[in-house]
């Protein structure tokens, strides 16, 4: 009931407690020293304890509603603000482009935490059960933002060792199809369809047999260039994909591209389970 009243008044419970305590103290100043002593010793501590308790109950019942929530699947997030996008334009006549080349990297959180992302990254070593973090760096160096882009990461390989034989049954070659994560970014500027494809190879021991990457639900986030949280992102990057709007700086902000660098990070687990 208290939480509902605070919600209707749109007043934070801390300010309610402060107001009551201030009113009690003011009354003490008016009514004399004896009344003031009772206010300081009894009334204010009781009010403060009540306020703290009510706030903790309110926070628990709301699930900590000050924490960022995960948007529903399919929500398009504005990369500049972190808010759900409105009036999305799917292409623009202005030249805008997401930089490519080494923008998709990964690390094994089980072996290395926090991660260090190497600029020229080769295959990362992992074993079944390891938790990976995968990241995509988004930098648009133009003075116009990319209005819409779709991001999808697919798993390839992981099938173990393949043996090729000739018609006589003789082994001609053996190869292992490596496990990898394949990034695909699609967007459009004017009438030009743009695409970026990059991959990260995961070196899993052959003895592991079949391996796969399992996405960790709720793990996708959007960070700024200093790795501060901009928004949590919907699940789906390893399924149907996810979309961002307005990647890069606003057209009104010249030479602001560094300020609007963004990162998409998500987690996936190396699985040694059956198909």
Q: What is the pLDDT of residues 28-40, one digit of tens each?
A: 555 666 655 655 6
- Find out whether 94 and 127 touch, Cβ atoms under 8 Å: no
Provide φ and ψ at 55, rounded to 5°. -65, -45
- Looking at the structure, tell me whether residues 129 and 158 fall in a common domain: yes
- Looking at the structure, tell me whether residues 117 and 234 fall in a common domain: yes
Residue 249, in any domain of the structure: yes
pTM of structure = 0.70
- Looking at the structure, tell me whether residues 27 and 162 fall in a common domain: no
Check residues 43 and 213 and name the one with the higher pLDDT.
Answer: 213
Left, alpha or beta for 209 (phi > 0: left; psi -120 to 50: alpha)?
left
DSSP 82: S
Residue 174 CA: distances (Å) to CA of 12, 105, 155, 167, 171: 67, 28, 22, 16, 8
How far is Cα 208 from Cα 108, in angstroms, rounded to an integer? Answer: 17
Residue 72, in any domain of the structure: no
Domain with 47, as residue range(s), is: 2-61
- Looking at the structure, tell me whether residues 167 and 263 fall in a common domain: yes
- Looking at the structure, tell me whether residues 120 and 15 fall in a common domain: no
Residue 71, in any domain of the structure: no
pLDDT of residue 155: 86
- Looking at the structure, tell me whether residues 153 and 246 fall in a common domain: yes
Q: Taking 60 as the threshold, does the pLDDT of residue 9 lie above it?
A: no
Residue 81, in any domain of the structure: yes
* Number of domains forming the structure of the chain: 2
Secondary structure (3-state) at 58:
helix
How far is Cα 68 from Cα 229, in angstroms, rounded to an integer? Answer: 10
Structure tokens at 67: 């924490």
Using 50, 70 and 90 to split pLDDT, how confident is the model at 113?
confident
How much is the mean pLDDT over the chain? 77
Check residues 22 and 90 and name the one with the higher pLDDT.
Answer: 90
How far is Cα 256 from Cα 252, in angstroms, rounded to an integer? Answer: 9
Give residue for tokens 């300010």. 15
- Find out whether 163 and 191 touch, Cβ atoms under 8 Å: no
How far is Cα 96 from Cα 91, in angstroms, rounded to an integer? Answer: 10
How far is Cα 143 from Cα 190, in angstroms, rounded to an integer? Answer: 15
Q: Are strands 146-156 and 179-189 parallel, antiparallel or unpaired?
A: antiparallel
Structure tokens at 13: 């419970």
Check residues 147 and 24 and name the one with the higher pLDDT.
Answer: 147
Cis omega (within 30 of 0) for bond into 114? yes
Structure tokens at 223: 């960070």
């Amino acid at each position: 009931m208290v939480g509902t009243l605070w919600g209707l008044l749109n007043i934070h419970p801390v300010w309610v407690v402060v107001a009551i305590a201030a009113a009690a103290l003011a009354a003490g100043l008016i009514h004399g020293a004896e009344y003031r002593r009772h206010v300081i010793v009894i009334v204010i501590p009781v009010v403060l304890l009540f306020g703290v308790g009510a706030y903790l109950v309110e926070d628990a019942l709301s699930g900590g509603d000050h924490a960022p929530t995960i948007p529903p699947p399919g929500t398009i997030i504005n990369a500049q603000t972190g808010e759900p996008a409105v009036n999305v334009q799917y292409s623009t006549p202005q030249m805008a482009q997401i930089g490519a080349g080494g923008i998709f990297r990964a690390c094994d959180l089980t072996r290395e935490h926090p991660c260090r992302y190497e600029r020229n990254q080769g295959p990362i070593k992992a074993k079944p059960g390891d938790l990976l973090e995968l990241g995509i760096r988004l930098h648009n160096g133009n003075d116009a933002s990319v209005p819409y882009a779709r991001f999808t990461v697919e798993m390839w390989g992981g099938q173990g060792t393949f043996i090729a034989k000739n018609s006589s049954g003789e082994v001609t070659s053996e190869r292992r199809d490596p496990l990898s994560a394949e990034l695909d970014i699609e967007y459009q500027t004017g009438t030009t369809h743009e695409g970026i494809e990059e991959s990260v190879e995961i070196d899993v021991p052959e003895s592991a047999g079949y391996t796969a990457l399992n996405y960790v639900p709720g793990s996708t986030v959007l960070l700024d260039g200093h790795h501060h949280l901009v928004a949590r992102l919907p699940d789906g990057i390893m399924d149907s994909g996810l979309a961002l709007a307005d990647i890069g700086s606003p057209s009104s902000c010249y030479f602001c591209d560094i300020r609007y660098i963004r990162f998409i990070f998500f987690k996936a687990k190396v699985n040694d389970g059956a198909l």
